């Protein structure tokens, strides 16, 4: 499948459409310190993963209640920090191009609904279809969220392009059966230096 065959684009949020890396780093580093963990080790897992999965990874012996409380703490840190949250370079231009050529798009993120809306709003992005970790029973790398996003757009997932910046997210896209585009050097069907490149590819269809 080639770009001209794509009928919808499914985007990850953090690190793909929205630059929230500084917030993620600040929040998880503080959380790690509070829980007696090594921030660098936590950050190596946290990016792209559902927060509860990260909590479970680092607190394997904690009770369900303790894990829930630990998750609530990092959620509170993240949802109250939008300092520096902006659209990634090329994101707004790309979304404008998709609107002009009539290609629907959606966002699927491992973030909870409230956090996703806070960050997207801060970045000036308003998807018509937003799927969050609250909408699925299995988070990334399971493909459930991307399958759900394609269903909501009314487009077969095999005619969709999934755009991701993490291995765990790209694995979800690949498992869904979609064409994939990878940022930050992640191996994918289409490897992108940034979103400007993807924008140029779609502009070629105008």
Please state, in angstroms and rounded to a whole number, the distance separating the CA atoms of residues 127 and 117: 10
Beta bridge partners of 8: 160
Distances (CA, A) of 158 to 36, 110, 173: 44, 21, 10
In this structure, what token pair is assigned to residue 89? Answer: 């370079």
Instruction: Please answer whether residues 190 and 91 qualify as being in contact, where contact means their C-beta atoms are separated by less than 8 angstroms.
Output: no
Please state, in angstroms and rounded to a whole number, the distance separating the CA atoms of residues 120 and 73: 21
Q: Which residues carry out catalysis?
A: 12, 14
Phi, psi of 155 (to 5 degrees): -125, 135
Instruction: Please answer whether residues 34 and 71 qualify as being in contact, where contact means their C-beta atoms are separated by less than 8 angstroms.
Output: no
**In the chain, alpha helices (H):** 21-34, 39-46, 51-58, 64-79, 91-101, 113-123, 144-153, 167-176, 195-203
Please state, in angstroms and rounded to a whole number, the distance separating the CA atoms of residues 1 and 111: 30
């Amino acid at each position: 499948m080639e770009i001209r065959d794509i009928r919808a684009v499914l985007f990850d949020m953090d690190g793909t459409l929205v630059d929230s890396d500084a917030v993620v780093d600040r929040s998880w580093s503080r959380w790690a310190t509070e829980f007696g963990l090594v921030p660098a080790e936590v950050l190596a897992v946290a990016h792209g993963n559902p927060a509860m999965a990260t909590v479970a990874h680092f607190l394997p012996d904690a009770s369900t209640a303790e894990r829930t409380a630990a998750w609530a703490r990092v959620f509170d840190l993240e949802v109250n920090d939008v300092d520096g949250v902006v659209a990634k370079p090329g994101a707004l231009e790309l979304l404008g191009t998709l609107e002009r050529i009539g290609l629907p798009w959606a966002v699927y993120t491992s973030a909870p609904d409230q956090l996703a809306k806070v960050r997207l709003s801060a970045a000036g992005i308003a998807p018509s279809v937003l799927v969050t970790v609250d909408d699925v029973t299995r988070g990334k790398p399971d493909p459930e969220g991307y399958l759900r996003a394609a269903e909501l757009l009314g487009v077969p997932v095999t005619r969709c392009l999934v755009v991701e910046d993490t291995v765990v997210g790209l694995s979800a896209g690949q498992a869904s059966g979609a064409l994939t585009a990878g940022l930050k050097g992640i191996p994918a069907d289409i490897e992108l230096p940034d979103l400007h490149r993807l924008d140029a590819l779609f502009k070629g269809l105008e």
